[in-house]
Structure 1
Amino acid sequence: MRRYYQPVPKRTLECGAGTPTGLKKRANVTKKFNPDATTSDLNRHRSIDGYHGETKDKVGGGTSDHSKGRKGLEDFGYQSKSHELSSIHPDIGSAYRICFIASLDCARFLLMQGMAFSGPGQSPTSINKGNLLELIDLYKKRDKEVERAFDMNVVGNIDITSPLIQKGLAKACAQEVTEVIIGEIGDGNFTILIDDSHDMAEKYQMAVFVRFVNKKGKVIERFLGLEYLTEDTPAAFKETLVGLLAQHGLSISKLRGQGYDGASNMRCEFNDMQLLIHNENPYAFYVHCFAHQLESVLITVSRCSSSLIHDFFVSISLIITTTIESCQMMDKSTEKHHQTTLNKLESGEILSEGSNHKEKNLASLGGTRWGSYYTTLGRINMMWDSVLDVLMIVHQHGRQPSRAGGLIQTMESFEFVFILKMMLKLFTITNELSLVLQRKDEGIIQAVGQLTDVKECLQTLRNNGWESLFEDVKSFCATNWIPVPNMDEHIRATGHSRRDGVTLT
């Protein structure tokens, strides 16, 4: 046990409390702090004001291991691609630059021409790779240096022609063009032109254009940008516009005019927005859009005034889309129309002399408002049997048979025929004026004179045109086996459920 527990000497036990002698003596000593004794020690170091920003002591010194490690960590986060490229191949940097410049040149050409980079189903493995890739291939055939650069498979896993790179090229070109436009405006005044539109996902967006006078004294109009609208309120419109202008360094105080889409004006969508902007800047005068088609305005107002007319034009668009979904269907439509025309000529229903029975196809409506509905409705009326036959073929052998069957049922209804005949009469009166208003060489006096005549014709149609219109509709329905409802019978009002009991005659 002596190995683990040493005996305590008797002299230590006599000191009391079992405290060792050295500790007992140290406890009885009180040592005070003397500041004078540290004066010489403080003078050995420089004051804080004497330090230099790049000079460090000991661990923080520029040559210490700590500083070298910190510097290496910072350099690791700021590696440039040039280091990576130079480590792979000495010529890889110039090859990548050649490929990039060639792709950028092709992208700029397509953007200037307003052409898409690629279409649906087009990829690097398809026969038609798309406009951009095909143009790059043509570039490679014309320039052997570019072909060698692309054949080197630059940077391994980075494809210079990938969709992500293509999108980046388009965005970079757009930013450069926008900067040039903003530079042309400078500190001068400008006006805005606004239109509403929808993207492929049917999201509501606002298209903004600027109009200004350049240094040569010419009036220039340029597209500024598209902005999505989460709300359709005047305050949201104004906030979105101000944000877009501020994004490009433009101030609303320099605004000297504001114009809006003609059809949107008729729907009163931007009226309150005009007032909000005018209250903030009284010099931002409203300028009416005279460049809009009269036909488009009439259609927009008609669709907003009645749900039946709105559904009618939706059906028209679906009919056009369905009947021209394949060239085979269009050939059958044209062939059927020729045969019908020959039968009418033989029976004497139409006369060959002076008759316009040339080859006709259904006019496709564009995605914008500049498509001619007057031409489309006229051809549907003329090729009625052919359109129905094509829809039946699509219903039996097409990719969307259910939609074609529903369109057949819609066309063979009294409401569809009535609206078709009514809109044709309306467009027949207004079509000439609509074309005249688009001519730049037409004087305003002649246009106003034609406007007076059109108003008189419309008033006559409203007062005395019902009987002739109704007889035309009944005759058409009887010829095509379409039932005509009893006009004295009570039917359910549109927009109401049968349980509401709301009827009309």
Structure 2
Amino acid sequence: MVDESQDVSIKEQMTMVFCYVDKSGDVIERFVDIQHVSDTTSKSLKEAIETLFSREELSISMLRGQGYDGASNMKGEFNNLKTQIFRENPCAYYIHCFAHQLQLALVAVTKGNVDIATFFTSCNSLVNIVGASCKRCDILRDKLQKDIMEALEKDTLPTWQGLNQETCLKRLGDTRWNSHYGTLLSIISMFKSVVKVLELIIEDGSIDNIG
């Protein structure tokens, strides 16, 4: 299974996961590698896969399946990654990633429900407003740190994993539904600080003008 996405530094990264059956007949899924790719064309992705297989002394001829999302560079009819690998190994049948299919279904459902669509549109607007400038992000970070220190002094700081490591609101992703969950968690965990930033924006017109 292969997928590609931009990281926070706007560099294209390709991830690869192997799914195989062990000697006991159990299905095993393992994350194998993450590689920077110059672009996301099928040619570049194929070269990255071949490099990994060569490094690990594996052969594409042993593949029995390939799974990607529905992007055109992955599964389109001509000159795409699926077709290039299938030409080399006709036994490597293509399967549309189930997680991506679920993502498409969830997006379709939410767009069909006015309340849910409005809710996530509001979340997206909130993230964009608070993160519109470095100044706003810095103020959010400062207020968050003060809130954490205050909670520590009162011994009221929630401590579940990763909660207090967030320093900015996560943006909603178009292709991964779990990014919506991450966005909601970041809003909830930083809600008090976010409200303070919004109040400053209302009071001063533009927080970017605050000295």
TM-score normalized by structure 2? 0.57
Query: Closer, same or farther in 2 for the Cα pair 1:295/1:274, shift >3 Å?
Result: closer
Counterpart code for 1:227 = Q
Q: Is 1:258–1:284's contact at 8 Å kept on the other side of the alignment?
A: yes
User: Residue 128 of structure 2 corresponds to which residue in structure 1?
Assistant: 318
CA RMSD of the aligned region, Å? 4.3
**Is residue 239 from structure 1 mapped to residue 43 from structure 2 by the alignment?**
no
**Is residue 391 from structure 1 mapped to residue 198 from structure 2 by the alignment?**
yes
| Structure 2 counterpart SS, 1:243 | helix
Which structure ranks higher in relative contact order (CA pairs < 8 Å, sequence separation ≥ 6)?
2
Q: How many angstroms does 1:314 deviate by?
A: 6.3
| Structure 2 counterpart SS, 1:318 | helix
User: Residue 286 of structure 1 corresponds to which residue in structure 2?
Assistant: 94
Find 1:226's aligned residue among 23, 28, 34: 34
Query: Closer, same or farther in 2 for the Cα pair 1:391/1:316, shift >3 Å?
Result: closer
Q: How many angstroms does 1:235 deviate by?
A: 1.2
Q: How big is each residue's C-alpha offset from its partner over 1:9-50, in whole Å with a ceiling of 9 and x where there is no partner?
A: xxxxxxxxxxxxxxxxxxxxxxxxxxxxxxxxxxxxxxxxxx
**Is residue 401 from structure 1 mapped to residue 207 from structure 2 by the alignment?**
yes
Query: Closer, same or farther in 2 for the Cα pair 1:297/1:268, shift >3 Å?
Result: farther
Query: Closer, same or farther in 2 for the Cα pair 1:314/1:235, shift >3 Å?
Result: farther
| Structure 2 counterpart SS, 1:372 | helix
Q: Is 1:395–1:402's contact at 8 Å kept on the other side of the alignment?
A: no
| Structure 2 counterpart SS, 1:393 | helix
**Is residue 207 from structure 1 mapped to residue 11 from structure 2 by the alignment?**
no
Q: How many angstroms does 1:317 deviate by?
A: 3.3
Structure 1 unaligned segments of length 5 or more: list them: 1-192, 303-310, 332-363, 405-505
Q: How many angstroms does 1:389 deviate by?
A: 6.7
Question: Number of residues paired by the alignment?
Answer: 158
TM-score normalized by structure 1? 0.26
User: What CA distance in whole angstroms lies between the structure 2 residues aligned with 1:296 and 1:197?
Assistant: 20
Q: How big is each residue's C-alpha offset from its partner over 1:296-337, in whole Å with a ceiling of 9 and x where there is no partner?
A: 8738xx9xxxxxxxx998654334655964348989xxxxxx
User: What CA distance in whole angstroms lies between the structure 2 residues aligned with 1:403 and 1:257?
Assistant: 56
Q: Is 2:130–2:198's contact at 8 Å kept on the other side of the alignment?
A: no
Which of the two has greater strand per residue? 2
Find 2:68's aligned residue among 251, 260, 272: 260
Q: Is 1:329–1:390's contact at 8 Å kept on the other side of the alignment?
A: no
Q: Is 1:324–1:330's contact at 8 Å kept on the other side of the alignment?
A: no
Using the aligned pairs only, state the percent identity. 32
Query: Aligned ranges for residues 21-420 of structure 1 at < 5 Å?
Result: 193-261=1-69, 265=70, 267-271=71-75, 272-292=80-100, 293-294=102-103, 298=107, 315-319=125-129, 325=141, 326-327=143-144, 365=170, 369=176, 370-372=178-180, 376=184, 390-393=197-200, 401-402=207-208
